[in-house]
A and B are shown apart, each in its own frame.
Chain A
Amino acid sequence: MPLWGLLAWQDIRSRYRRSKLGPLWLTLSMGLLVGLLGLLYGTLFKVDLVRYLPFLALGFVVWTLISNLTIEACRVFINAQSIITQMAMPLSVHVYRLVWRSLIIFAHNILIFVIIALALQIWPGWTGLLALPGLALLALNGVWVGLLLGLLSARFRDVPPIVESLMRIGFFVTPVMWMPEFLPQRAVLLELNPFFHCLEVVRAPLLGQSPALTSWLAVVGMTLAGWLATFLMYRRYRRYIAYWV
């Protein structure tokens, strides 16, 4: 396993060192949250629980992945300061470590959905496999987000708190808890929300629906545009990062 993979596993082990269930605690607490909110909001929104619970579970789990990747991206270089200022190691190692760690946590959390799906006897069918390219796209986006936000945050220390509050807003304007069809028409607000599309390419397949073409295009577009912007930024500013952190 490459260095970043080992480092990521070590992060997980350290974080949950003294707990018996380890990362499954996170799963358990999120499971509880999904269960309670499912009952509450299912009743409030008057939707069928068989439809709402899996939707909510996946929404939470995928949103957690997106928000982990984005928020922790800000500190990816700042936290690795002692390594960066001591040795010549590619900066991408730190970002791969973050992405891999987030994916490991995601793999734990997705259990919630599996349990709910088994309990409610829903089966996404072959469409479910589309979640894999969706997830791969999220990881690819995670890498450029890590590189870019990591660089910006190293230079401007205001970036982490700004990103954190934006992600909090993002959670509410993105259909994590509420379903897209609650909106009278598919509102522009929804189509312009990049988080919505990121969520869709993983959530929809697992619910047995094929994501809209616009969602695929949006995510692929984000990947390309993001990587291009990151590449340009790195060509100019990469060498300053060691001085900034």
Chain B
Amino acid sequence: MSVELRVQGVTVDFPVYSLGARSLKNRLLHRGGGGNIGRDADDRLCVRALDEVTLVFARDDRVALIGRNGAGKTTLLRVLAGAYEPTRGQVWRQGQTASLLNVSLGIDLEATGYENILMKGLLLGLTPDQIQERTGEIEAFTELGDYLAMPVHTYSAGMRLRLAFAVCTCGNPDILLMDEWFSVGDAAFVKKVRQRLEEFVDRTGILVLASHNLTLLKRICTKGVLLEGGRIKAIGSVEAVVDVYQRESR
């Protein structure tokens, strides 16, 4: 099956409702922050988070999304995931998509480890049978043992993250969207996590990873996209784009 991820001329305007828009307007129109503030067709105040973004990704693309805070990285990931419908432009997504923008999504503290595996797996688009199949492997990886039968609120923060991480990375998605790389667990666990994560990424067709860790991006990714104020500032090989970014921020 072909895997494809494409956005064309995507523009996202965030309407601003809260705060006294009138007085705010004066302050904001003098510019500040990374985004652009303007007005939409109905004369509402809005922030332009993405501006005419066009990108085409194909199988085996490992894309690094680079940019300062507020450059539009997360917004772009949400558009790619299909959560945000852009104000203008179009999105084509072919292939099962795993959106790991928030690793802990769907973790219920009152539920047991096993129940959380099920619920989180369902949210990731797995079927109950598939989850059943992978539970053994998750048990083995997390090393949580009998804890899995206990409510998650009895876990330490590190254990919770380990569980969430194990479930997140048990699938087989065609398209993988990530906001920041996982950093889970104690020193002994780090190696295991790294290995599992890299295997997981190897299995996926397209990876789009937003991060501020440039060394990591250069290691994992092949392509780079630099966003600035919602626009594509540079696109190309990850090394070239990182260079541009570093020159800019100096």
CB contact between A88 and one of B17, B97, B119, B123 (< 8 Å): that residue: B97
* CB <8 Å contact, B78 and A14: no
A85 touching B78 in the complex, CB below 8 Å, given contacts A6-B119, A6-B122, A239-B85: yes
Closest chain B residue, CB of each to CB of A1:
B128
- The answer to whether B110 has its CB under 8 Å from any CB of chain A is yes
Closest chain A residue, CB of each to CB of B151:
A17
A83 touching B105 in the complex, CB below 8 Å, given contacts A6-B122, A17-B111: yes
CB contact between A13 and one of B81, B85, B111 (< 8 Å): that residue: B111
- The answer to whether B188 has its CB under 8 Å from any CB of chain A is no
Closest chain B residue, CB of each to CB of A6:
B122
Interface centre among A15, A17, A239, by most chain B C-beta atoms within 10 angstroms, is: A17
- B28 CB to closest chain A CB (Å) equals 18
Give the residues in chain A near B17, CB-CB below 8 Å: 155
Contact with A along B1-23 (1 / 0, CB 8 A): 00000000000001101000000
- A81 CB to closest chain B CB (Å) equals 10
* CB <8 Å contact, B84 and A243: yes
CB-CB contacts below 8 Å: B78-99 with A:
78, 81-85, 97, 99
CB-CB contacts below 8 Å: B5-49 with A:
14-15, 17
Give the residues in chain A near B102, CB-CB below 8 Å: 82, 86
Closest chain B residue, CB of each to CB of A241:
B85
A23 CA / B193 CA spacing, docked (Å): 40
Number of interface residues of B (CB under 8 A): 25
- The answer to whether B101 has its CB under 8 Å from any CB of chain A is yes
* CB <8 Å contact, B15 and A240: yes
- The answer to whether A165 has its CB under 8 Å from any CB of chain B is no
A87 touching B81 in the complex, CB below 8 Å, given contacts A10-B115, A240-B15: yes
- The answer to whether B108 has its CB under 8 Å from any CB of chain A is yes
8 A-B residue pairs with CB within 8 Å: A6-B122, A18-B110, A82-B102, A86-B81, A86-B99, A87-B99, A88-B97, A242-B85
- The answer to whether B106 has its CB under 8 Å from any CB of chain A is yes
A242 CA / B122 CA spacing, docked (Å): 21
A84 CA / B105 CA spacing, docked (Å): 11
* CB <8 Å contact, B108 and A10: yes
Interface centre among B17, B83, B128, by most chain A C-beta atoms within 10 angstroms, is: B83
B interface residues (Cβ-Cβ under 8 A, vs A): 14-15, 17, 78, 81-85, 97, 99, 101-102, 105-106, 108, 110-111, 115, 118-119, 122-123, 128, 151
Q: How large is the interface on A (under 10, 10 to 19, 20 to 34, 35 or more residues)?
A: 20 to 34
Closest chain B residue, CB of each to CB of A10:
B119
Closest chain B residue, CB of each to CB of A239:
B85
- B41 CB to closest chain A CB (Å) equals 13
* CB <8 Å contact, B106 and A88: no
Closest chain B residue, CB of each to CB of A11:
B108
7 residue pairs, one from A and one from B, having the closest CB atoms? A88-B82, A239-B85, A14-B110, A17-B110, A87-B99, A86-B101, A86-B99
Give the residues in chain B near A6, CB-CB below 8 Å: 118-119, 122, 128
A17 CA / B78 CA spacing, docked (Å): 33
Contact with B along A31-61 (1 / 0, CB 8 A): 0000000000000000000000000000000
Give the residues in chain A near B101, CB-CB below 8 Å: 85-86
A86 CA / B99 CA spacing, docked (Å): 6
Taking A3-B122, A15-B110, A85-B84 as known contacts, 10 extra A-B pairs with beta carbons closer than 8 A to each other, sorted by chain A number, are A6-B119, A10-B111, A17-B111, A82-B106, A83-B105, A85-B101, A86-B83, A87-B123, A242-B85, A243-B84
- The answer to whether A135 has its CB under 8 Å from any CB of chain B is no
A240 CA / B99 CA spacing, docked (Å): 20
* CB <8 Å contact, B83 and A84: yes
CB-CB contacts below 8 Å: A51-86 with B:
82-86
A139 CA / B17 CA spacing, docked (Å): 33
A86 CA / B123 CA spacing, docked (Å): 11
- A119 CB to closest chain B CB (Å) equals 35
A155 CA / B16 CA spacing, docked (Å): 11
- B127 CB to closest chain A CB (Å) equals 10
Give the residues in chain B near A17, CB-CB below 8 Å: 110-111, 151
A17 CA / B115 CA spacing, docked (Å): 12
